[in-house]
Amino acid sequence: MKEFTYRIEDENGMHARPAGKLATFAKQFSSRITVKTDKKEGDGKRLLSLMSLGAVCGTELHFLIEGDDEAAACEALERFCKESWCAESGK
């Protein structure tokens, strides 16, 4: 199992668009991807599940990745969070 933590910098938090992008990106991996906050837990490949986390700016998202491609998935997801998500919120 691989894991990493990402703090949401987007001032809008886990809104529909970033959640949708994250879910779409996560779907390319076969590993099971779980996203936890200190209160809730969601499926990283599912939009509604991610939105229901109610994660706001500053929330720490703890990613747990388990499966055949966990190493690649972990690295790619961490990069995705830092690059794509932030670039998105820069607008």
Catalytic residues: 15
Residue 1 in contact with residue 69, Cβ under 8 Å? no
- Smallest gap from Cβ 90 to other proteins, in A, equals 5
Residue 58 binding other proteins, by CB under 8 A: yes
Non-local (6+) Cβ contacts of 52 within 8 A are 40, 42
35 binds other proteins (CB under 8 A): no
Q: Is 5 in the site for other proteins (CB under 8 A)?
A: no
Stretch that binds other proteins, among 15-23, 28-36, 66-74 (CB under 8 A): 15-23
Positive or negative torsion for Cα 63, 5, 28, 21: positive
The Cα 70–Cα 91 span in angstroms is 31
Sites of contact with other proteins (CB under 8 A): 7, 9, 11-17, 20, 23-24, 43, 45-49, 51-52, 54, 56-58, 82-83, 86-87, 90
